[in-house]
Amino acid sequence: MHIGLGELLIELTLMPLVAFIVGMLMVLMMRRVGARLQRRVGPPFFQPLYDIIKLHSKETQISHGLIHDIGIIMAVGGYIAAETLLPVPGMNGIAEKGGLITLLYVMMIPSLGLALGVGQCANPNGSIGISRALTAMLAYDIPFVIVMAGVAFIYGTTNLVEVINIQQEGGIAAWGAVQMPFMALAGLFALQGMLGKQPFEVYVAPAEIATGPMVEMGGKYLGGLFVMQCFQLYTASVLYVTLFLGGGENWLFLLLKAFAVLLIPISIAFLFPRFKTDDLVRLMWKWPVLLGLIGLVLINYR
Partner 1 sequence: MNALDLLLLTSLGTVLFSVVFSASLTGRMLLTMLYAVQTVILFQIDAGTEMVSSFGFEIFNHALGLSFNGLSWFFALITLGSAFFAAWYGLNQQQKLLHVGLSANVFSMLVLLSAGDFLSLFIAWELVSWSGVLLMVLGKQESLVATLKYITYAIAGGMAVFAGIILIYSWTGSLAFNAVTENPLSLSQYGTLAILLIGGFSVKMALLPFHLWQAEAYALTSGPASVFLGAISARMGLFAIVITMMHVVDLKTLDSIFLIPELFTFRDFLIWVAALSIILPTYTALRQNDARLLLAWHGIGQGGYMMLGLLMYDQMGSAGGLLHVFNYASCQAILFMSVFSILHRTGTTNLNQLGGLVARMPLSFLAMLVGIIGLAGLPPMNGFVSKWLVYRSLLSDGMAIVFLASVIGTLGTILSVYKLMHNSFLGQLRVEHEHVKEAPWSMTVPMMLLAIIIFITGVMPGISLELVANAQSAIGLTPVDYHLGGVVSANSAISGDLDMIWVVLVLFSGFGIAAILFLSAGKSRRVHQLDNYAGGHFLNANNQYQYSDNFYAGLMHIIKPWYRYSFKWFEGAVVSFVNLAAVFSRSFFNQAHMLIWMLVVVTTVMAVAII
Out of 23, 86, 185, 216, point to the residue binding partner 1 (CB under 8 A): 216
* Smaller CB separation from partner 1, 35 or 73: 73
Alpha carbon 32 to chain centroid distance? Answer: 19
Report in angstroms the alpha-carbon separations of 41 from 36, 45, 141, 264, 291. Answer: 6, 12, 35, 20, 38
Q: 122 or 172: whose CB is closer to partner 1?
A: 122
Judged by CB under 8 A, the residue of 30, 81, 91, 185 near partner 1 is 81
Range 272-291, binding partner 1 (CB under 8 A): 276-278, 281-282
User: Is the CB of residue 195 less than 8 Å from the CB of residue 263?
Assistant: no
List, as one string, the DSSP characters of 8-52: HHHHHHHHHHHHHHHHHHHHHHHHHHHHHHTT-----TTHHHHHH
Interface residue with partner 1, options 27, 32, 84, 238 (CB under 8 A) = 84
Q: Which of 37, 219, 267, 274 binds partner 1 (CB under 8 A)?
A: 219
What is the dihedral angle through the alpha carbons of 102, 139, 156, 251, rounded to the nearest 10 degrees?
A: -70
**Window contacting partner 1 (CB under 8 A); options: 24-32, 69-77, 240-248, 253-261:** 69-77
Stretch of residues binding partner 1 (CB under 8 A), selected from 22-30, 33-41, 135-143, 258-266: 135-143
Query: Which helix (DSSP H) or strand (DSSP E) does residue 64 occupy?
Result: none
Asked whether 180 and 154 are in contact (CB, 8 A), the reply is yes
Task: Please report the sign of the dihedral spanned by the C-alpha atoms of residue 68, residue 73, residue 78, residue 83.
Answer: positive
Contact segment (CB under 8 A) with partner 1 among 31-39, 173-181, 217-225, 232-240 equals 217-225
CB-based contact 129:118 (threshold 8 Å): yes
Instruction: Determine if 224 is a binding residue for partner 1 (CB under 8 A).
Output: yes
How many residues of this chain bind partner 1 (CB under 8 A)? 88
For residue 207, give every residue at least 6 positions away whose Cβ sits within 8 Å of its Cβ, in sequence order, or none.
none
8 Å CB contact between 71 and 114: yes
Least distance between partner 1 and beta carbon 62 (Å): 6
Q: Which is nearer to partner 1, 33 or 281 (CB)?
A: 281
Which window, 72-80, 233-241, 243-251, 260-268, contacts partner 1 (CB under 8 A)? 72-80
Total Cβ atoms within 10 A of residue 274 = 14
Site for partner 1 in 93-132 (CB under 8 A): 93-94, 96-102, 105-106, 108-109, 112, 115-116, 119-125, 127-128, 130-132
Exactly one of 19, 24, 79, 269 binds partner 1 (CB under 8 A); which one?
79
Find the binding residues for partner 1 in span 145-204 (CB under 8 A): 145-146, 149-150, 152-153, 156-159, 162
Binding track, positions 26-65, relative to partner 1; x by CB under 8 A: ------------------------------xxxxxxxxxx
